Amino acid sequence: MRRVALKLEYDGRDFVGWQRQDVGTSVQGVLEQAARHLTLGAPVTCIAAGRTDSGVHAEGQVAHLDLPQKHTREAIRNALNFHTRPHAVAVLDVADVPDDWSARFSALGRCYRYTINTRPARLVLDHGRAWHVARLLDVTAMQHAARHLLGRHDFTSFRASSCQAASPVRTLDRLAVTQHNETITVIAEARSFLHHQVRNMVGTLKLVGDGKLPADAVRDILAATDRKAAGPTAPSDGLVFTRVVYEPDPFVAS
Amino acid sequence: MRRVALKLEYDGRDFVGWQRQDVGTSVQGVLEQAARHLTLGAPVTCIAAGRTDSGVHAEGQVAHLDLPQKHTREAIRNALNFHTRPHAVAVLDVADVPDDWSARFSALGRCYRYTINTRPARLVLDHGRAWHVARLLDVTAMQHAARHLLGRHDFTSFRASSCQAASPVRTLDRLAVTQHNETITVIAEARSFLHHQVRNMVGTLKLVGDGKLPADAVRDILAATDRKAAGPTAPSDGLVFTRVVYEPDPFVAS
């Protein structure tokens, strides 16, 4: 057997989320079923860098699995893309990695992009790909608020009650809020995130943008270490898992 | 009555095309039905700058129609966006225009964008939004070929047999082929286009990119004035009607 890393794109609306569940189609389940065509039917386990929720998209999710030696990387990519049809997931790239390499535990950073659209008209081409907030938001205030979240903090106030992480402390390396015409983009980067952390941060920044919360209140919300202190969870539609950082990057060598 | 111009976005996959037809849902039909909520049920005719085919998308199609005086531009936009639900069309903007203004005949220019994706993996997030050609194309040769099409020519070789235009002569102002990673973008601009002209030009450029046709052969294809001389029609998926040029631009004033 040899371990391979997969770079994945998927449309989150097609799935109950990354993780295999009792009911519904998961990205993990679709990939594991497809991979059995490469293992003569033997069960395969596929581990991802991040377990995205239902509705959350990926442009650069990374997962690993163990396969027999005999296939080329191109053959693996093509076979998985064939056998995952018609589900909205694609294997963009395949890389050979060491036997002890883990898409999850070897990851040094994770990057997400959240998109808010403030135009009056409902979304058509970006339907399901952005949070439609049909009014102007104060982006300068949102940028100010975002700065309070940067760095190492106890993010309990932005953590889902279902979060299974041992510690609520995370180091947020980047939280950039930018605006281009009617589109507001939030880029979030950290070694790892708590469950719903990005969507809860965006939900709170949106309250600031709406003028319902002063930008500096975000400091107090962090200090409260209480989920009820922060804003609601932003919808999954706007969130894309864009990139996972590894050193070395297995896909550059490939 | 007063005439208004609409700026429209739509997903071409949801429609049989712009034009009302005996069977199937058209963008025109959906808008005209929605507009009757503003005319106490009186029939409305909606005329577009370009009659896009089924599967062709729009980010900035423009249409006009006549409505009673009483509604504000915002009320018209909101009413049409409400009553066109759940169809994949949105009214982005509404402008007041003179009674003799026509979305079609007042247009001084039309802009289209065609997207080709050359990556090996099937498309997921861009499914239905690009032509998936899963191999490298020679973009330099395509750029060379595109230059032969610029300017005023008899475009009979690139005209659908169903085209109803009186003359096959058109002046192509821009045909720019650019590449960014695995995405090739073709931008086409002209005062007007023949039916299928953009898709037929792209289908021919793709043969050049594939090495199946020398770049200079495009000059001979033009000279042949024979549809059979050119390449096949590129799929509708990759085509977006991006912009219509008017002088003055009614939406800038609005």
Tens of pLDDT, residue by residue over B10-63, are: 999 999 999 999 999 999 999 999 999 999 999 999 999 999 999 999 999 999
Phi/psi of residue A96, nearest 5 degrees = -80, 135
DSSP state of A17: B
Instruction: Flag if A88 and B9 touch (Cβ within 8 Å).
Output: no
Using the CB atoms, write b or e for B137-162: b if 16+ within 10 Å: bebebbbbbbebbeeebebbbbbeee
Backbone angles phi, psi at A180, to 5 degrees: -135, 110
Q: Is the Cβ pair A124, B11 closer than 8 Å?
A: yes
Confidence of residue B163 (pLDDT cuts 50, 70, 90): confident
* H or E element in which residue B131 lies: strand B131-132
Average pLDDT over residues B78-90: 97
Q: Is the pLDDT of residue B185 over 80?
A: yes
CATH architecture assigned to A109-242: 2-Layer Sandwich (3.30)
For chain B, domain boundaries = 2-106, 109-242
Using alpha carbons, select from A26, A85, A128, A46 the residue that is nearest to residue B123. A85
Give contacts of A124 with chain B, Cβ < 8 Å: 9-11, 88-90
- Beta bridge pairs of residue B183: B117, B180
Contact A125 B57 (CB under 8 A): yes
- CA B76 to chain A, closest CA, distance in angstroms equals 11
Q: Tell if the pTM clears 0.90, that is, is over it.
A: yes
Chain B residues near residue A61 by CB distance under 8 angstroms? none
Half-sphere exposure of A254 (CA within 13 A, CB side): 17
User: Using beta carbons and an 8 Å cutoff, which residues of B are at the interface with A?
Assistant: 9-11, 57, 59, 74, 77-78, 81, 85, 88-92, 119-125, 127
State the Cα–Cα distance between residues B160 and B86, nearest whole angstrom.
32
Q: Work out whether strand A131-132 and strand A109-117 pair parallel, antiparallel, or are unpaired.
A: parallel
User: Region B160-188: what's the mean pLDDT?
Assistant: 95
B148 phi and psi, to 5 degrees?
-70, -25
For residue A130, give both structure tokens.
């952005």
Q: What is the mean pLDDT of residues B113-127?
A: 97
Is residue A143 helix, strand or coil?
A: helix
Residue A241: partners with Cβ closer than 8 Å, 6 or more residues away: A50, A52, A56, A57, A58, A59, A60, A61, A110, A111, A112
**Buried-exposed string B46-77: b where 16+ CB fall within 10 A, e elsewhere:** bebbbbbbbbbbbbbbbbbbebeeebeeeebb
Pick from B2, B1, B3, B7: nearest CA to B242: B7
- Nearest chain A residue to B240 by CA: give it: A125
Set of chain B residues whose Cβ sits within 8 Å of the Cβ of A92: 119, 121
The candidate with the shortest Cα–Cα distance to A60, out of B94, B121, B245, B243, is B121
Q: Look at residue A253 in the predicted model and tell me its pLDDT.
A: 64
- Blockwise average pLDDT, block size 10, chain A, 254 residues: 96 97 95 96 96 97 94 96 97 97 98 98 97 97 98 97 92 98 97 97 98 97 96 97 97 76
**Do the Cβ atoms of A77 and B120 come within 8 Å?**
yes
The pLDDT assigned to A162 comes to 87
CA–CA min distance B9, chain A (Å):
7
Burial class (CB in 10 A: 0-12, 13-18, 19+), A252: exposed
Angle at B216 between CA B210 and CA B221, to 5 degrees: 90
The DSSP 8-state label assigned to residue B53 in this structure reads: B
Q: One fold for both A2-106 and A109-242?
A: yes
Q: Which of B122, B182, B183 to mutate to test the interface with A (most CBs of A within 10 A)?
A: B122
Q: Do A77 and B10 touch (CB under 8 A)?
A: no
Active site residue B53: yes
pLDDT at B254: 54
Distance from CA of B213 to the nearest CA of A (A): 28
Minimal CA–CA distance to B57: which of B113, B132, B121?
Answer: B113
Q: What percent of chain B has pLDDT over 70?
A: 99
Rounded to a whole number of angstroms, the distance between the first and last alpha carbons of chain B is 18
Residue of B11, B53, B96, B237 marked catalytic? B53
| A81 Cα to chain B: minimum distance (Å) | 7
Q: Which residue of B has its CA nearest to A83?
A: B122
Please, which residues have CB within 8 angstroms of residue A228's CB and are 6 or more apart in sequence? none
Q: Which residue, A200, A243, A194, A236, is CA-closest to A53?
A: A236
Whether A240 contacts A113, CB under 8 Å: yes
Which residues from B are below 8 Å from A93, CB to CB?
121
The domain over range B2-106 is classified in CATH as 1.10.12.10: no
